[in-house]
Chain A
Amino acid sequence: MTVGIKKAARPRKMSFPEGVYLVEIAKALWLTMSHLLRNIVRQEGIRTIEYPEVRREMPPRFRGLHRLMKREDGTPRCTACFCCPTACPAKCITIVAGESPDPRVEKFPVRFDIDMLRCVFCGLCVEACPLDAIRMDTGWFTPPDDSREKLVFTIEMLLEKRG
Chain B
Amino acid sequence: MPNLTINGVAVSVPEGTTILSAAKQVGIHIPHYCYHTHLSVAGNCRMCQVEVEKFPKLQTACSTVATEGMVVRTDTEAVRKAVRGALEFLLIHHPIDCPICDQAGECGLQDYYMTVGLHKSRYPLGDKIHKKKVQDAGSGIVLDAERCILCSRCVRFLEEVTGTRELQFFRRGDHSEISFFPGRPIDNHYAGNLADICPVGALTSRDFRFRCRVWFLKSAESICTGCARGCNIEAHFHEGVLYRYKPRVNDAVNRAWMCDFGRMEYRKANEARLLAPFVRENGVEKEMPWGALMPQVAQRLSDAVRTHGADTVAVIASPQLSNEELFLVRHFASDLLGTMNLAFTRRAPEDGFSDDFLIHPDKNPNSAGARLLGIPGEEAFHAVAGRISRGEIRALVIFGNVLGAFSEKGTLELLSKAPFIVQVGTNEGVVSRAAHAVLPSASFVERGGTFVNCDGRLQRFRAGFAPRGKARNTIEILVDLGNRLGAGWSFSGEESVFRALSRSEAPFRGMTYGSIGSLGREVKR
Q: Is the interface of B mostly helix, strand, loop or mixed?
A: loop
CB distance from A56 to the nearest CB of B (A): 36
Residue B209 is within 8 A (CB to CB) of chain A in the complex: yes
* A98 and B210 in contact, given A81-B98, A83-B99, A104-B133 (Cβ under 8 angstroms): yes
Residue A97 is within 8 A (CB to CB) of chain B in the complex: yes
CB distance from B413 to the nearest CB of A (A): 42
Residue B284 is within 8 A (CB to CB) of chain A in the complex: no
Residue B213 is within 8 A (CB to CB) of chain A in the complex: yes
Contact, CB under 8 Å: A81 / B134: no
A103 is contacted by which of B98, B104, B134 (Cβ under 8 Å)? B134
Question: For B211, what are the chain A residues with a Cβ–Cβ distance below 8 Å?
Answer: 97
B97 is contacted by which of A80, A86, A99, A106 (Cβ under 8 Å)? A106
A106 to B209, CA, bound (A): 11
* Chain A CB within 10 Å, residue with most, of B100, B104, B215: B100
Contact, CB under 8 Å: B210 / A79: no
Question: For B104, what are the chain A residues with a Cβ–Cβ distance below 8 Å?
Answer: 81
Residue A163 is within 8 A (CB to CB) of chain B in the complex: no
Contact, CB under 8 Å: B215 / A107: no
Contact, CB under 8 Å: B213 / A86: yes
Question: For A106, what are the chain B residues with a Cβ–Cβ distance below 8 Å?
Answer: 97, 100, 133-134
Segment 86-126 of A: residues with Cβ below 8 Å from B: 86, 97-99, 103-107
A86 is contacted by which of B98, B133, B209, B215 (Cβ under 8 Å)? B215
A99 to B104, CA, bound (A): 16
Question: For A82, what are the chain B residues with a Cβ–Cβ distance below 8 Å?
Answer: 213, 216
B210 is contacted by which of A83, A107, A130 (Cβ under 8 Å)? A107
Nearest chain A residue, comparing its CB with the CB of B135: A103
Question: For A86, what are the chain B residues with a Cβ–Cβ distance below 8 Å?
Answer: 213, 215-216
Nearest chain A residue, comparing its CB with the CB of B134: A103
Residue A29 is within 8 A (CB to CB) of chain B in the complex: no
Nearest chain B residue, comparing its CB with the CB of A110: B210
Contact, CB under 8 Å: B210 / A80: yes
A104 to B216, CA, bound (A): 26
In which size bucket is the chain A interface? Answer: 10 to 19
Contact, CB under 8 Å: A81 / B99: yes
Contact, CB under 8 Å: A103 / B210: no
In which size bucket is the chain B interface? Answer: 10 to 19
CB distance from B21 to the nearest CB of A (A): 35
Contact, CB under 8 Å: B215 / A79: no
Residue A58 is within 8 A (CB to CB) of chain B in the complex: no
Interface string of B92-109 (1 = CB under 8 A from A): 000001111000100000
CB distance from A112 to the nearest CB of B (A): 13
Residue A131 is within 8 A (CB to CB) of chain B in the complex: yes
CB distance from A78 to the nearest CB of B (A): 9
Nearest chain A residue, comparing its CB with the CB of B214: A82
A82 to B215, CA, bound (A): 10
Segment 371-425 of B: residues with Cβ below 8 Å from A: none
Question: For B98, what are the chain A residues with a Cβ–Cβ distance below 8 Å?
Answer: 81, 130
Nearest chain A residue, comparing its CB with the CB of B133: A103
CB distance from B147 to the nearest CB of A (A): 11
CB distance from A109 to the nearest CB of B (A): 10
Contact, CB under 8 Å: B133 / A131: no
CB distance from A105 to the nearest CB of B (A): 8
CB distance from B218 to the nearest CB of A (A): 15
A79 to B216, CA, bound (A): 18
Question: For A80, what are the chain B residues with a Cβ–Cβ distance below 8 Å?
Answer: 100, 210
CB distance from B146 to the nearest CB of A (A): 11
A78 to B99, CA, bound (A): 9
Contact, CB under 8 Å: B100 / A107: yes
Nearest chain B residue, comparing its CB with the CB of A82: B213
Interface string of A138-155 (1 = CB under 8 A from B): 000000000000000000
Question: For B215, what are the chain A residues with a Cβ–Cβ distance below 8 Å?
Answer: 86
Question: For B133, what are the chain A residues with a Cβ–Cβ distance below 8 Å?
Answer: 103-104, 106
Question: For B99, what are the chain A residues with a Cβ–Cβ distance below 8 Å?
Answer: 79, 81, 83, 107, 130-131
Segment 32-67 of A: residues with Cβ below 8 Å from B: none
A9 to B100, CA, bound (A): 56
A159 to B525, CA, bound (A): 66
A86 to B215, CA, bound (A): 9
Nearest chain B residue, comparing its CB with the CB of A97: B210
Question: For A104, what are the chain B residues with a Cβ–Cβ distance below 8 Å?
Answer: 133
CB distance from B2 to the nearest CB of A (A): 45
A97 to B104, CA, bound (A): 15
A98 to B99, CA, bound (A): 13
A158 to B211, CA, bound (A): 22
Which 9 pairs, one residue from A and one from B, show the smallest C-beta to C-beta distance?
A: A81-B99, A97-B210, A107-B100, A103-B134, A82-B213, A79-B100, A106-B100, A79-B99, A130-B99
Other than the given A81-B99, A107-B210, A130-B98, 11 more pairs (CB < 8 A) read: A79-B99, A80-B210, A81-B98, A86-B213, A86-B216, A97-B211, A98-B210, A99-B210, A103-B134, A106-B100, A107-B99
What are some 26 contacts across the A-B interface (CB < 8 A)?
A79-B99, A79-B100, A80-B100, A80-B210, A81-B98, A81-B100, A81-B104, A82-B213, A83-B99, A86-B215, A86-B216, A97-B211, A98-B210, A99-B209, A99-B210, A103-B133, A104-B133, A105-B100, A106-B97, A106-B100, A106-B134, A107-B99, A107-B100, A107-B210, A130-B99, A131-B99
